[in-house]
Amino acid sequence: MRGRAADDAAGAPLPPPLVPLVAGVGARRGVPVSEVLELITASCAAAGYAVRQVVALATAAAKADEPGLTGAARELGVPLRSFPAAALAAVPVPEPSAAAAAAVGTPSVAEAAALLAAGPGAALAAGKRKSPPARATCALAVPAGRAGPAVTDSGALTAGREGAPVVPSTGTVIVMASPNPPRRGPDRRTADAGDPAPGSATPGSKETQ
């Protein structure tokens, strides 16, 4: 005879699928991978999410080659996508920064990049948050409808974790191999570097917005 607990378990609704997140990240030159990872993890926890829900990182084109960001993407097993300053500047955000606009040509990096990478209709799940040393900022965005397919027919990048939701990509695809791949995902990572970092980018910029 089945007990009440078994009946309740059999009739219990399935838990909802995990909401995919895009982490927009701004960073100063030389920011360490550990600081970026700790910031993303803290941002997710503060908003009630798990870091495993992050399916992509996004940033400005000027930061696309920053080792702290590319290294964090490899560790998480997700792509890094980047956008030119003009595209980021066109995205309305709740916390624009005049200092950011002067430094990198856009009043927002983290929030604007997260929204662009999450696709049309995306919404912020968490506003920008600074790392304790203030060398990086992070914001989280969710795609429209708060869910995404594991595979799309639009050439979207895989997220580095088999079966993970993805969001469309519109930039150049770069495959980055990691000498020490994480336990999750395949041993090669796909990153979208978008436009190359402009030669006029100033090393050591204080802009992390």
pLDDT tens digits for 143-184? Answer: 997 644 322 222 233 233 333 333 334 433 333 333 444 444
- CA dist 81 and 144 (Å) reads 18
Contact in structure between 136 and 68 (CB atoms under 8 Å)? yes
- CA dist 103 and 127 (Å) reads 20
- CA dist 136 and 120 (Å) reads 25
Closest CA to 143 of 55, 69, 77: 55
Q: Which of 41-45, 55-59, 117-121, 196-200 has the lowest mean pLDDT?
A: 196-200
Average pLDDT, the chain: 74
Instruction: Provide the pLDDT for residue 53.
Output: 95
**Overall fold of domain 18-192:** Nucleotidyltransferase; domain 5 (3.30.420)
Task: Please state the domain extents for the chain.
Answer: 18-192
Contact in structure between 208 and 99 (CB atoms under 8 Å)? no
- CA dist 115 and 128 (Å) reads 12
% pLDDT > 70, the chain: 61
Q: Is the pLDDT of residue 118 over 50?
A: yes
The whole model's pTM is what?
A: 0.67
Instruction: Provide the pLDDT for residue 29.
Output: 92
